[in-house]
């Protein structure tokens, strides 16, 4: 999927598909790139999340921008989502370190163990949102949980995006482990620092994906181009 996305993104950024242009049909792209339809559709969804294209029911996929500026996850732009997360989740981690109960810690530890064993991205993403909800619950303030519930869908979309394009899962597991260890120790400062570090890494990965130019010149064989151009975001 990364390879197909790199090829299509590069073609848009080079102007091979200009703003207003309609991309070839799914069937045509599958034949040209020699990939399955599910793989192609994942790449097309990523293009739309990046704000480069829009899908119009019954009409196809159209280019609406030539560069990536601010990905959108559900109802929220990435920059807005991150700003709110910094103002909410960092202090929440501190409160959780002071107020967590043994039941909160057991739940978080069990959830983290499952995440570290999980190999399916969809299942891991679902547990990722549960993890952040569990930290909010440990702060013993129902308003914090409601805030995280409100952005839960956006968090899941962002998590899937970062895992597909930025290979974030193992790194995120380590960051989550540091948060849980700080909560177990009851260290407010360590919990705040661990959550801040986690969100810093989220922002860095997002920035790397957005800034990645992906403008490699295609080879003479178009079916080889995405396979050669698709590497880690």
What is the torsional sign of CA 164, 166, 167, 171? negative
For the cut 60, the answer to whether the pLDDT of residue 224 exceeds it is no
Mean pLDDT on 26-46: 91
Residues 6+ apart with CB under 8 A from 5: 42, 43, 46, 47, 165, 214, 230
Q: Which stretch of 71-75, 106-110, 125-129 has the lowest confidence by average pLDDT?
A: 71-75
Per-residue DSSP letter, 20:
T
Residues 6+ apart with CB under 8 A from 128: 115, 155, 156, 159, 172
For 61-87, write each residue's pLDDT tens digit. 999 888 888 888 988 999 999 999 999
All domains of the chain in start order, with CATH: 2-69 (1.10.10.10), 73-210 (1.20.120.530)
Mean pLDDT on 90-105: 98
Q: Which tokens go with 229? A: 């151009």
For 139-164, write each residue's pLDDT tens digit. 999 999 999 999 999 999 999 888 87
């Amino acid at each position: 999927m990364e390879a197909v996305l790199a090829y299509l993104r590069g073609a848009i950024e080079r102007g091979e598909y200009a703003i207003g242009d309609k991309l070839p049909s799914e069937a045509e792209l599958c034949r040209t790139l020699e990939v399955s339809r599910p793989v192609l559709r994942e790449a097309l969804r990523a293009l739309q999340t990046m704000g480069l294209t829009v899908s119009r029911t019954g009409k196809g996929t159209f280019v609406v921008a030539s560069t990536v500026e601010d990905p959108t996850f559900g109802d929220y732009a990435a920059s807005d989502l991150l700003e709110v997360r910094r103002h909410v989740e960092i202090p929440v981690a501190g409160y959780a370190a002071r107020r967590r109960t043994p039941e909160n810690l057991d739940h978080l530890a069990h959830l983290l163990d499952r995440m570290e064993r999980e190999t399916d991205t969809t299942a891991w993403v679902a547990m990722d949102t549960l993890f952040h909800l569990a930290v909010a619950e440990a702060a013993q303030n129902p308003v914090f949980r409601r805030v995280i519930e409100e952005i839960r869908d956006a968090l899941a979309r962002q998590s899937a995006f970062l895992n597909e394009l930025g290979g974030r899962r193992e790194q995120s597991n380590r960051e989550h482990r540091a948060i849980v260890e700080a909560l177990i120790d009851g260290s407010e400062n360590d919990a705040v620092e661990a959550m801040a570090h986690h969100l810093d890494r989220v922002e860095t990965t997002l920035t790397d994906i957005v800034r990645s130019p992906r403008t490699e010149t295609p080879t003479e064989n178009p079916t080889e181009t995405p396979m050669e151009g698709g590497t880690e975001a």
